[in-house]
Structure 1
Amino acid sequence: MTHSAGTDGYWETTGADRTFTHALDRELLSLHVPLNARVLDYGCGYGRLLAELDALGHADVQGVEPSAALVARCRKENPGLRITRAESLPLPFAEASFDAALLFAVLTSVPQEEERERAVAELARLVRPGGVLYVSDVPLQTDEASIERYRTGEAETGVYGTFRMPDGGVFVHQRPEDFHALLERHGFAVAEERQDVTPTLHGGTNVRLQIVARRGR
């Protein structure tokens, strides 16, 4: 999980103490990401998925995270993992450096559309042709509480789906077709898609969307 520079330091303070909740679908991962793949976890937070990938036998895993507090937490809780703090793009890697990239609960944490575009464009640069991008994120929810949050957020930001939580975190939920369009604009084609229910940072549950998309050759 990562943050946007526009969230008023949330991921350096309150957000840095949260327990991240999007589980790795090991079956989905194994179908598309072999153990010898070069893997980038973009917006890796405190290294939760890096540690899991390492335990599964993935030998070449690299994390990137913009929050200094989350990087420090990673180095304390998961010493020995490869993590780079990168506050801005482009990232310090050559084109096509990775066979696969993970993007877990990152897009929901980036309320600015232009920043989401830049992030996926950068992953298109870094993932080799034929490689995969594994996205786990939160689409628009249909329950009444979420709809009320969206309406309140729309009044504040002008964007339906954007909302501010009581602890100060700003998030955005989008339609599944918006995720598809974003990936397609940057040369990724959806190979597999799943939906399930996941816990939230704040103790509730959401329907989540998982997409594995392959970069065009």
Structure 2
Amino acid sequence: MKKAIVVFKGWGSSESFYGEFLEGLDAEIIFSDELYKKNLDDYQEVIAFGWSMGTLDCIRFIRDKKIEKSVLIAPTLDFTKTTRALIIKKMIKRLKVERAGCLRDFIELNFSSSLKFEGYLGKYFEDILKIPDEDLIKGLNKLIEDKVEREKSYLNPLIILGTEDRVIPEENSKDVTEDFPNAVVYSINGGHNLIYEEKEKLYLYIKRYLDS
């Protein structure tokens, strides 16, 4: 079966990060900004995968395309529900004068384990530093401005939340879980970057869900 996974990235994350995590799912990885190059009708199965900021567009995508299988990690309909816009604006200013320090501090906020944070930093920080400034600033402005309308849907995505998430806490994701009453929902003891921090457990849940 020819499958595709459409990836909607979180803020400040590299393509290599998702590629390494999803490579065992036997599907072509398509990043959302390259969707215009693809005809999804060429695939027998399309899976949507969104993390953090990426879930804003991922939710719209699965609603519009009626995607049967999707994974939403730390989803939100409105990032500013739990993080004031002023904090994000300060981050934009700091990014312009202290880029590496700003990115490092944000990444640290993603983790509940300092050991996992250091491991992630060592593995991916070089790639993250290559992300263009305009993309980073565009993403932060998106977190301020973009709000997904609430709409009850009977699609059944897999939704995974981190109990110690300091970026998009479970309180913020509640609107998403309520809008998808048929969703499969897991809460994992961990921070915002569960893809790295709890990789094995997350992968097990995703495989189980996709095989069901």
Q: TM-score, normalised by structure 2?
A: 0.40
Higher helix share: 2
TM-score (norm 1): 0.39
Which structure ranks higher in relative contact order (CA pairs < 8 Å, sequence separation ≥ 6)?
Answer: 2
